């Protein structure tokens, strides 16, 4: 761990200068307490650094939560071993791709039975929060159970004992993005109204006790819950497809569902703060967690160590080293195919910007996180599903 200054602690051994400067700028906001914690996977983000843990007194920076509110991971350990699986994995991948809408702007054509009670729950919660999700997206209910694109994925993986895990990464989809975008804009309007001088417009904040703050918190919490239920719905569908493929029911030996873009009220260093984790998971002592690598590399099932200096947090993944445009200029389809050898995936140049080389080495990230989490399982992929 490196102390960059009294208000910025860093766990990233791989850290470019622009990311370091962005984190330093955020750490200087007057309501940061006690310090900002930079995780091993830190990289440049919108306003605040992805892979940062930002504790604030009496204010929240909406962009420091991110536009994919509640994004996170879910994993299920099954009773199956690799030897129990059919040799041909392509039918499973294709069945999952049919069961779950992939890619940006792709949603369900109808609401299936497993999604209905979850949508009813979200409708009740929205009414209690005093807002109508349809004001953001009229088809929001059809977004539940859809994956998205970018680094979101669905995987079948094996641990060190060849036990089968089902693993996926997604968030609050278009509805969460629209909620976040609106409140980032509101914060910027408030800053302009009160002549607040900001080092970056995306560091605009909302002050606790104001109507704008209260509205954001209510809708943020709703979007976080949408994201959690979205992952549950997709996992139910993955389980159904896996069950059909393997020819037997799944026994869930373990299920972990954790956010990595979220805000909660927590107590740290003797004070109650709003803790925003932007690309970081909660890692209190004993907390189960999931840290995926990039496409084609290892993922980890972990347990938190409760490191107080990290504000009980750990990394959420590998973290990008190349922007998407830079990755497309640097890497080739043949390199992607080489990286994905032995893994069933959709062979397309649409995924070049997701090649492992565009990310930090996940094993280095985990080495940097040694005082934040303990590793329970190291997973290797055998099936990968992504959206364009």
Give the burial string for 225-257 (b: 16+ CB within 10 Å, else e).
Answer: bbbbbbbbbbbbbbbebbeebbeeebeeeeebb
Residue 240: band (very low, low, confident or very high) from pLDDT cuts 50, 70, 90 = very high
**pLDDT value, residue 42:** 97
Contacts of 211 (CB under 8 A, 6+ apart): none
Is 170 inside any structural domain?
yes
The yes-or-no verdict on residue 362 having pLDDT over 90 is: yes
CA neighbor of 40 nearest in space, from 377, 257, 280: 280
Is 358 inside any structural domain?
no
Report the pLDDT averaged over residues 114-131: 97
The yes-or-no verdict on residue 388 having pLDDT over 90 is: no
Report the pLDDT averaged over residues 218-223: 98
**pLDDT value, residue 164:** 98
Is 322 inside any structural domain?
no
Is 185 inside any structural domain?
yes
Asked if 263 contacts 278 with a C-beta cutoff of 8 angstroms, the reply is no
State the Cα–Cα distance between residues 300 and 347, nearest whole angstrom.
Answer: 25
First to last CA, the chain: 37
- Report, as residue numbers or ranges, the catalytic residues: 316
Cis peptide before 246 (omega within 30 of 0): no
Asked if 341 contacts 321 with a C-beta cutoff of 8 angstroms, the reply is no
Beta strands in 224-329 (DSSP E): 254-259, 261-268, 271-278, 280-282, 288-291, 299-304, 313-315
| Ramachandran class of 324: left when φ > 0, alpha when ψ lies in -120 to 50, beta otherwise | alpha
Q: Which residue range is the domain that position 6 belongs to?
A: 2-285
Report the pLDDT averaged over residues 240-257: 97
Is 281 inside any structural domain?
yes
The domain that holds 143 is classified in CATH as 3.90.1860.10
Report the pLDDT averaged over residues 170-196: 97
The yes-or-no verdict on residue 253 having pLDDT over 90 is: yes
Residue 111: band (very low, low, confident or very high) from pLDDT cuts 50, 70, 90 = very high
State the Cα–Cα distance between residues 189 and 195, nearest whole angstrom.
Answer: 10
The yes-or-no verdict on residue 242 having pLDDT over 90 is: yes
Taking only the tens place, the pLDDT of each residue in 296-339 is: 999 999 999 999 999 999 999 999 999 999 999 999 999 999 99
State the Cα–Cα distance between residues 242 and 239, nearest whole angstrom.
Answer: 5
Q: How many angstroms separate the Cα of 19 from the Cα of each of 6, 67, 147, 156, 324?
A: 18, 19, 28, 33, 16
Residue 142: band (very low, low, confident or very high) from pLDDT cuts 50, 70, 90 = very high
Is 383 inside any structural domain?
no
State the Cα–Cα distance between residues 89 and 256, nearest whole angstrom.
Answer: 24
State the Cα–Cα distance between residues 162 and 158, nearest whole angstrom.
Answer: 5
Is 40 inside any structural domain?
yes
Is 107 inside any structural domain?
yes
State the maximum Cα–Cα separation within the chain, in Å, rounded to a whole number.
65
Burial of 6 (0-12, 13-18, 19+ CB in 10 A): exposed
CB atoms within 10 A of CB 154: 27
The yes-or-no verdict on residue 270 having pLDDT over 90 is: yes
**pLDDT value, residue 104:** 86
The yes-or-no verdict on residue 7 having pLDDT over 90 is: yes
Residue 28: band (very low, low, confident or very high) from pLDDT cuts 50, 70, 90 = very high
CA neighbor of 148 nearest in space, from 171, 164, 119: 171
Taking only the tens place, the pLDDT of each residue in 31-51 is: 999 999 999 999 999 889 999
**pLDDT value, residue 47:** 85
Q: How many domains does the chain have?
A: 1
């Amino acid at each position: 761990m490196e102390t960059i200054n009294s208000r910025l602690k860093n766990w990233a051994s791989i850290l470019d200068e622009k990311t370091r400067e962005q984190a330093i700028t955020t750490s200087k906001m007057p309501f940061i307490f006690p310090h900002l914690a930079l995780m091993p996977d830190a990289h440049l983000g919108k306003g605040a650094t992805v892979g940062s843990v930002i504790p604030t007194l009496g204010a929240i920076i909406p962009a420091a939560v991110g536009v994919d509110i509640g994004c996170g991971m879910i994993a299920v350990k099954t009773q199956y071993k690799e030897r129990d699986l059919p040799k041909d994995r392509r039918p499973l991948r294709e069945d999952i791709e049919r069961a779950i809408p992939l890619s940006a702007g792709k949603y369900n054509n109808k609401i299936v039975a497993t999604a209905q009670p979850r949508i009813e729950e979200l409708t009740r919660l929205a009414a209690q929060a005093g807002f109508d999700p349809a004001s953001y997206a009229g088809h929001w209910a059809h977004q539940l159970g859809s994956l998205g694109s970018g680094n979101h994925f669905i995987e079948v993986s094996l641990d060190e004992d060849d036990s089968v895990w089902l693993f996926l990464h997604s968030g609050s989809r278009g509805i969460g993005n629209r909620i976040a975008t609106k409140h980032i804009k509101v914060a910027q309007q408030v800053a302009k109204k009160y002549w607040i001088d900001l080092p970056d417009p995306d560091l605009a904040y909302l002050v606790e006790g104001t109507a704008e703050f209260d509205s954001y918190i209510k809708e943020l919490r709703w979007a976080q819950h949408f994201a959690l239920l979205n992952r549950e719905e997709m996992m139910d569908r993955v389980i159904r497809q896996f069950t059909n493929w393997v020819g037997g029911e799944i026994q869930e030996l373990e299920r972990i569902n954790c956010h990595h873009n979220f805000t909660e009220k927590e107590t740290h260093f003797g004070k109650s703060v709003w803790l925003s984790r932007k690309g970081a998971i909660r890692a209190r002592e004993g907390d189960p967690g999931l840290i995926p690598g990039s496409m084609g590399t290892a993922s980890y099932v972990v347990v938190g160590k409760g490191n107080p200096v990290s504000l009980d947090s750990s990394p959420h993944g590998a973290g990008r080293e190349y922007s998407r445009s830079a990755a497309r200029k640097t890497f080739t389809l043949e390199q992607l195919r080489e990286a994905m050898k032995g893994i069933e995936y959709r062979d397309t140049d649409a995924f070049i910007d997701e090649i492992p080389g565009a990310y930090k080495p996940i094993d280095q990230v985990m080495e940097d996180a040694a005082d934040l989490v303990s590793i329970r399982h190291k997973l290797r992929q055998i099936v990968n599903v992504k959206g364009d």
